[in-house]
Structure 1
Amino acid sequence: MSLYELEREKDTEGIAEVLRDSDKEAVRKRAAEILGRIPESAGREIVKGLVEAATNDSSRSVRIAAVGSLKKLDEKNGLANVVSDDGADDVVPLAVEGKRSDERAVRAASILLLGAADGKRAVEALVDAADDPDKQVREVAARTIKETDHPAAVEALISMSDDPSPKVRETVADAVAEHAEFGDSEEVVLELSEDKNGSVRRAAASSLGSFGTERAVRREAEMLGDGYEPVRLSAAFSIVESLSNAPTERSHEIRKSAAKATEKCAVGERTAEALADVLGADERAARRNAAWLLGRVSQPTGGIVNSLIEALGDEDETTARFAANSLAETGGSKAEKAVIEATEVEDTREMAVFALGELGGEKAGKVLSNLVDGTESDTVREKAFSALSKLDDPETHI
């Protein structure tokens, strides 16, 4: 049968035989390319045949075609689903041999297979790939090592944190936080958070949320003022994650560090919007921490004020109270006007009254006095009276 007929019938074994046995370079190349287009090609024997062709075929064009098909099969099926424990014995030696190839593409494909396999020999070869002279091969190695939990492989990944390739450093920043048990992991991510490449810093900002230490939170807060917007957005979500996951016994110290660092940076409007988006999260802890953090930015925007006003009506009283306190921290005429208007809305009225007591000022006092005398709600009247008492007590505003 011709290759055309074999492809039409999806006879992958027949195509693999052509790849192995044909004397014609063009035919072998065509067979290798076809195998990358047929999902059924992702069987262990077919993958093995492609690896053999990628490693040992006398024609460079055939080797490259075989590598291309391996990549396609990995994208479609995942080679990890093919190179199972019972198939690793005959595939890993070929992949190890392929990793020594002079062809960059062959080495890269071999690394993919090593990552899909298991066992000491595969891990050792992966670790060795971290030092490949070609940056694209190292990039593949970093992404592949990222998916393994073997200690030696993780240590190799950490060692790649100063790689000349930004893509490698980005992969390291993204992956190392998943292995916080390694003593150097937090230090590595902190260093990468100051990388000259914005994508690397963005990945580091996201990873810092996994540590929950004062150093990590302090750095996250500082990154809210980064010159690259994706970094600021990642830092916004990361710091909320850190505050939410902070151990109870250290929560106060971590919040103090975050507040001090946040007050020193100017948070852009989109970053503030990102924090405001967290106020709509399902997780109560995330909403609480976003409400608290929004009151600590040095240059609050109208969007921040509006988001905090909306949070006054949160079903979680602690979130609503944090929002009220943050509005008081924000201060200014915008916040005052918005809070006064919120006293006229049923969903936000009670907590807005509390916020007015925190804000203080002549206008706040007049609104509270009117509420004491004019509201029909006993609850609102009591809260307004309590807030007004704060305004009358100078010690509460020292």
Structure 2
Amino acid sequence: MMSEDELIQAGLRDYRQIPLLLAQERWPDALALIVALQSQLELWPQSEQEPRWAGLKEALMQLESTDTDLDWQIAPLEQLRCWQAQCLHHLGQTSAAIGLLRALLAENPRAELAHLLSRYLLLKGDSEAAVHALNQALQADIYYLPAYEDLTYLAHLHHHYEVSFHLLQMGLSLGHSERLLEEWALACTQPEALSFRSLFLDLILPVLDAQRLPICLKVVEQLYLQAEYDHSEFLSYHLLQAFPENPTVLNLHLLAAMQLAHWGPVITLLKEKLKRWPDERGLWYRLAIAYSRWHMPLLARHALAQVLAGESPEPELKALAETLLEDLPDSRSLDECIAELLKESVLEPGFAQAILKAPETTLAEIGIGWSDELGETLKKVFF
């Protein structure tokens, strides 16, 4: 007959073996070992100071993390019953697993238990009971992110976007969750959620960071493809404030803004970026487009000259630039020229000052020839 110490050590070895069997998906073997260990526990010595499973607690703390459904640390007897429910589910006895988890939850209301119960209820097709279990999880722990993830998923499944907004509002503020971000992205791009679009987009602004940038870019692109240019411009604008050096963010923002014909802001942004990247011919070409669309062909010609200057640009860009150049008017009246220069002075605060200091040089820099008549008119307008 085994001694008391040998009995406990054997039980500890069995206990340590269970997570390994679960990780290997050996459900029958794991269940048999769980049932046997539960029976053995009844034979273990017990006193008022030392319960039967006291030695198991130390073993539990030493267990390495496994890829099982349950990875939190609880009292050993509860852990055995949780593992038992897991095995029953994988062996096709989900109803029995649900009953076991409900009994456990009644004894110990833990967020993790309620969450696991909700998963099994969903698999049984009882979404109403699953929502109730997830609410129990949040009652047990208001900061439990997996419950927010699943509740948001269910809200989207049933097109309850007002509910999902409040869930995302709380969940996104608690910490980083890839699943919750995916649900946020879905809410931002679902046609059925159009009336909530601005609210959903606002949710991400307080937590914008490099970790969340990739999914935000996907949302911006998807909104653009859905012809929701205003929402695409809104989110890309805020991304540009957070990531001013990111070329993908800049490109997506320009696409949306140009679709909306926001030529003034586009020109201002491009001029700002060209100070940082003066050799980017693609930006010069976009600047030429913006100038031409805003009826400023003289400045458009100057921008196209930068595209075509020096070494020949890529054939496709060269062809586009030459086509745009052909479409621009060959000349402008004096009034049209002055109007264009006034627009430029609004877009470029230092432009008016440069005209005042060195008018001929300033105009020459943007490809506009000097004449006495132009000079006299400039004096009247700018002086």
Per the normalisation by structure 2, the TM-score is 0.55
Q: Does 1:126 align with 2:101?
A: yes
Tell me which amino acid in the other structure corresponds to 2:147: V
Query: Could you list the per-position Cα deviations for residues 230-289 of structure 1 after superposition, in whole angstroms to 9, with x for gaps in the alignment?
Result: xxxxxxxx23x4445x35xx5xx72x7424775x78935x61645653477699748868
- Corresponding residue for residue 307 of structure 1: 246
Q: How many Å apart are 1:368 and its aligned residue?
A: 1.4
User: Distance in 2 between the 1:71 and 1:369 partners?
Assistant: 73
Change in Cα spacing, 1:195 to 1:340, as seen in structure 2 (3 Å) is: closer
Contact 1:55 1:63 in 2 (8 A): no
Please show how residues 227-242 of structure 1 align to structure 2 within 5 Å. 238-239=184-185, 241-242=186-187
- Corresponding residue for residue 258 of structure 1: 197
Change in Cα spacing, 1:209 to 1:266, as seen in structure 2 (3 Å) is: closer
Please show how residues 107-126 of structure 1 align to structure 2 within 5 Å. 107-118=78-89, 119=93, 120-126=95-101
Query: Could you list the per-position Cα deviations for residues 190-214 of structure 1 after superposition, in whole angstroms to 9, with x for gaps in the alignment?
Result: 44345499428x66x954854xxxx
User: Distance in 2 between the 1:146 and 1:330 partners?
Assistant: 53
- Corresponding residue for residue 150 of structure 1: 123
Q: How many Å apart are 1:53 and its aligned residue?
A: 3.7
User: Distance in 1 between the 2:329 and 2:203 partners?
Assistant: 34
- Corresponding residue for residue 176 of structure 1: 151
Change in Cα spacing, 1:164 to 1:79, as seen in structure 2 (3 Å) is: closer
- Corresponding residue for residue 33 of structure 1: 12
Query: Could you list the per-position Cα deviations for residues 326-379 of structure 1 after superposition, in whole angstroms to 9, with x for gaps in the alignment?
Result: 894893886242354568424555445445567x598xx654131356754341
Alignment RMSD (CA, Å): 5.3
Contact 1:32 1:69 in 2 (8 A): no
Change in Cα spacing, 1:294 to 1:282, as seen in structure 2 (3 Å) is: closer
Please state whether the residue corresponding to 1:149 is helix, strand or coil: helix
Unaligned runs of 5+ in 1: 1-20, 81-102, 211-237
Q: Does 1:63 align with 2:36?
A: no
Change in Cα spacing, 1:340 to 1:127, as seen in structure 2 (3 Å) is: same
**Residue among 280, 292, 298 paired with 1:345:** 280
Please state whether the residue corresponding to 2:205 is helix, strand or coil: coil
Contact 2:223 2:231 in 1 (8 A): no
User: Distance in 2 between the 1:167 and 1:144 partners?
Assistant: 17
Q: How many Å apart are 1:306 and its aligned residue?
A: 3.5
User: Distance in 1 between the 2:58 and 2:127 partners?
Assistant: 27
- Corresponding residue for residue 48 of structure 1: 35
- Corresponding residue for residue 267 of structure 1: 205
Please state whether the residue corresponding to 2:246 is helix, strand or coil: helix
Change in Cα spacing, 1:146 to 1:55, as seen in structure 2 (3 Å) is: farther
Contact 1:22 1:28 in 2 (8 A): yes
Q: Does 1:140 align with 2:119?
A: no
- Corresponding residue for residue 296 of structure 1: 234
Identity of matched residues, %: 7
Q: How many Å apart are 1:114 and its aligned residue?
A: 0.7
Unaligned runs of 5+ in 2: 22-28, 309-317, 331-335, 344-383
Q: How many Å apart are 1:173 and its aligned residue?
A: 1.1
Query: Could you list the per-position Cα deviations for residues 160-214 of structure 1 after superposition, in whole angstroms to 9, with x for gaps in the alignment?
Result: 42643326753321223444587597665444345499428x66x954854xxxx
Q: How many Å apart are 1:296 and its aligned residue?
A: 0.8
User: Distance in 2 between the 1:328 and 1:291 partners?
Assistant: 11
Number of equivalences: 301
Q: How many Å apart are 1:40 and its aligned residue?
A: 9.7
- Corresponding residue for residue 321 of structure 2: 380
